[in-house]
Chain A
Amino acid sequence: MAKREPIRCLIVDDEPHARQALQTALARHPELDVIGLCENGLQAVKAINEQHPQLLFLDVQMPKLDGFDVLELVQEQIPFVIFVTAYDQYAVQAFEANAVDYLLKPVDPKRLAQAVEKVVARVGMEEPSRLQSLLADPVREQELMRRILVRDGSEVHVLPVDSVMYIEAADDYVAIHTAEDTHIKLDRLSRLQKKLDPRQFCRIHRSYLLNINYLSRIESESKDSRIAILTDKRELPISRSGYGNLQKLL
């Protein structure tokens, strides 16, 4: 086999011993090159954005951003992921995310070797199997979101849903408006709507999802044309079916 460049990988785990042990174990695999250790999801997003690793050894349970959050934020930038976690409850979810492998802690050196082999084989293929979107995962759909994650380059913003005034659809993106800021996220309005509390967020228009806590009043221009005035005087159009949705909610 022809000599190849080592695969650049990143270890993401919030436990210091776990990072060190994995790094030590990977030292026996010259086909991998550990280019960095990250203590949490925020560091991971930054490192991925700046160093473009090919492979991620990713812990699931971490503070603030867990492993799946990290993937949600950087999925288009990271070709291969191996989950490393103490529990097997995330295995299904991990493979749905198209992870190469799923290692249980404590990591058995033989299993690690198998996982590394798998990655090496896939890197050799012409078309790397891209990570699939986690977004359609039924497990994650069930729970209502308490926060929305958005990324701006290397920076991650965690927006409490209560601070979101409204969300606007823009092609493949959504614009999330808070009182202070607007954040852009690669997502669909209908999918976000499903994960937000329907008693709080109302689809007032094909392109607008409104947090009704920020609705000040409704003005009607004509029979079929109404405008929502928000608490900070911003105005949003209300469609006819959107008005029906609002009436149902209020």
Chain B
Amino acid sequence: MYPLFRTPNRLIAMLVGWSLLSAGLSVLVSGITDIPTGHGLILFAPTYFVWLFFLIPNYYMCRTLPLDKRAWTMVIATQTWILLALALIWALLGRGYALVLDSLADSVPYLEYFSEGLFSNLIIFAGQFEFFVLLHYLLIALQRGRDLEKRTLQQELLTSKAELRAIRATIHPHFLFNALNVLANITDSEPAQARNFCLRLADFLRYSVAYGDRPTATLGAELEHVQNYLSIERERFGERLCTDIEAEEDLLETPVPSLMLFPLVENAIKHGIDSCIEGGCLKMRAVAGDGGLHIEISNPVDELGHKRQGTGIGLISLRQRLKNRYGDEATLQTCREDNLFIARICLPLRRASAAVH
């Protein structure tokens, strides 16, 4: 549908506006060419009005000649040819109309008037044509921008939904394999420890499943969850993994997005501690300050310890989750300081309290 006619209001406004413009131009051209104004209006105004319908198809022409894909010279040449062709057709039609008028009113030389006004008319038409070409390209660009925006938004919505589900629902199968291995290795030699290991693994899985559908948890519950995870990994890493986690006591009831800490801690283990041949210490601090909750996780990393670099998908999707929930009020920043990798989360404390209900 032609965008300028899309709504009834627009269509009426366009037709009325164009009629007035046609009348105005008729008076102007009559003045220039010394044709009596009344006769000029009768002769020119209808033909100007019709010219509008010569201009509209140009919109579709512009769509087939996108400016960013075709050469400028080619676009200008094509549009000029079209203008000339349209002007010729219009001139023939206009002349026909003048002939009809001529035969109806013997005393007025309409055909002569038409010829006298032709030059001015062609100049006006060329101007209008150029104006419409620019207008059409502008409309097309605006439309494309809107489409793009819409598509991007839809895409973002889809991905964020899918990511959420994926993050929450899945625990990496490798993690389960590793846990089972540990269990198989210690059941004979250390039955008490194996039992304890099972309990913590069960707690870990229960939390991951339970909070797959619940968007909010407390900081205390999140910390317990990552502690469970770390105690499972500690069996695997032995002395290579040490942990040092501290949180201010009165922050433990603070509501936070569920399963927010796990991807960061998992990253710290998989891409950090595990890349270091001697292992290292995972450090976490949760403190309040400036009306926000600040969590910092740091771990050593050996850049050449792994053949592959991490994909960073975990960080990207966590960042997306925070953005969806807090807008610009929450941040997740990561940096390298010497051989340490540091992730910092900052959440608004106030907003978080409101989100619990």
Residues of B within 8 A of A64 (CB): 275-277, 302, 304-305
- Interface residue from B174, B185, B189, B302 paired with A106 (Cβ < 8 Å): B185
1/0 contact trace for B85-103 toward A, CB 8 Å?
A: 0000000000000000000
Question: How far is A87 from B178 in the complex, measured between Cα atoms in Å?
Answer: 9
| Chain B, interface residues (CB within 8 Å), range | 20 to 34
Are A63 and B276 in contact, with the CB atoms below 8 A? yes
Residues of A within 8 A of B239 (CB): 16
Residues of B within 8 A of A20 (CB): 185, 189
- Interface residue from B185, B235, B303, B307 paired with A21 (Cβ < 8 Å): B185
Q: With an 8 A cutoff between CB atoms, is A42 at the interface?
A: yes
Chain B nearest CB from A89 CB (Å) reads: 10
Are B184 and A63 in contact, with the CB atoms below 8 A? no
Chain A nearest CB from B183 CB (Å) reads: 8
1/0 contact trace for A102-118 toward B, CB 8 Å?
A: 00011100000000000
1/0 contact trace for A19-57 toward B, CB 8 Å?
A: 011001000000000000000101000000000000000
Question: How far is A86 from B177 in the complex, measured between Cα atoms in Å?
Answer: 7
Q: With an 8 A cutoff between CB atoms, is A206 at the interface?
A: no
Residues of B within 8 A of A143 (CB): 307-308
Q: With an 8 A cutoff between CB atoms, is B236 at the interface?
A: yes
Are B174 and A105 in contact, with the CB atoms below 8 A? no
Question: How far is A18 from B302 in the complex, measured between Cα atoms in Å?
Answer: 24
Q: With an 8 A cutoff between CB atoms, is A199 at the interface?
A: no
Are B307 and A146 in contact, with the CB atoms below 8 A? yes
Chain B nearest CB from A5 CB (Å) reads: 29
Q: With an 8 A cutoff between CB atoms, is B169 at the interface?
A: no
Are B189 and A24 in contact, with the CB atoms below 8 A? yes
Question: How far is A194 from B314 in the complex, measured between Cα atoms in Å?
Answer: 31
Question: How far is A160 from B180 in the complex, measured between Cα atoms in Å?
Answer: 35
Are A16 and B238 in contact, with the CB atoms below 8 A? yes
Are A63 and B302 in contact, with the CB atoms below 8 A? yes
Are B307 and A63 in contact, with the CB atoms below 8 A? no
| Chain A, interface residues (CB within 8 Å), range | 20 to 34
Question: Known contacts A63-B302, A143-B307; is A18 also within 8 Å of B177 by CB?
Answer: no
Question: How far is A64 from B302 in the complex, measured between Cα atoms in Å?
Answer: 8
Question: Known contacts A15-B238, A17-B236; is A106 also within 8 Å of B181 by CB?
Answer: yes
Residues of B within 8 A of A160 (CB): 303-304
Are A106 and B275 in contact, with the CB atoms below 8 A? no
Are A87 and B177 in contact, with the CB atoms below 8 A? yes
Question: How far is A143 from B237 in the complex, measured between Cα atoms in Å?
Answer: 28
Question: How far is A106 from B176 in the complex, measured between Cα atoms in Å?
Answer: 12
Residues of A within 8 A of B303 (CB): 160
Question: How far is A105 from B180 in the complex, measured between Cα atoms in Å?
Answer: 9
Residues of B within 8 A of A66 (CB): 307
Are A63 and B181 in contact, with the CB atoms below 8 A? no
| Most chain A CB neighbours (cut-off 10 Å) among B178, B235, B275 | B178
- Interface residue from B178, B188, B235, B305 paired with A63 (Cβ < 8 Å): B305
B182, closest chain A residue (CB): A17
Question: How far is A106 from B275 in the complex, measured between Cα atoms in Å?
Answer: 23
Q: With an 8 A cutoff between CB atoms, is A135 at the interface?
A: no
- Interface residue from A21, A24, A86, A107 paired with B174 (Cβ < 8 Å): A86
Chain A nearest CB from B234 CB (Å) reads: 11
Residues of A within 8 A of B309 (CB): 146
1/0 contact trace for A136-151 toward B, CB 8 Å?
A: 0000000100110000
Residues of A within 8 A of B183 (CB): 106
Residues of A within 8 A of B206 (CB): none
Q: With an 8 A cutoff between CB atoms, is B274 at the interface?
A: yes
Q: With an 8 A cutoff between CB atoms, is A249 at the interface?
A: no
Q: With an 8 A cutoff between CB atoms, is B186 at the interface?
A: yes
Residues of B within 8 A of A17 (CB): 181-182, 185-186, 235-236, 238
Taking CB atoms and an 8 Å cut-off, the chain B residues in 208-249 that contact chain A are 235-240
Q: What 9 pairs across the A-B complex have the smallest Cβ distances?
A: A106-B184, A21-B185, A16-B238, A17-B185, A105-B181, A64-B277, A86-B177, A147-B304, A63-B277
Q: Interface on B for A, CB 8 Å cutoff? A: 174, 177-178, 180-186, 188-189, 235-240, 274-277, 279, 302-309
Q: Interface on A for B, CB 8 Å cutoff? A: 14-18, 20-21, 24, 40, 42, 63-64, 66, 86-87, 105-107, 143, 146-147, 158, 160
A-B residue pairs in contact (CB < 8 Å), sample of 21: A15-B181, A15-B237, A15-B238, A17-B181, A24-B188, A42-B277, A63-B276, A63-B279, A64-B275, A64-B276, A87-B174, A87-B177, A105-B177, A105-B181, A106-B184, A106-B185, A143-B307, A143-B308, A146-B307, A158-B304, A160-B304
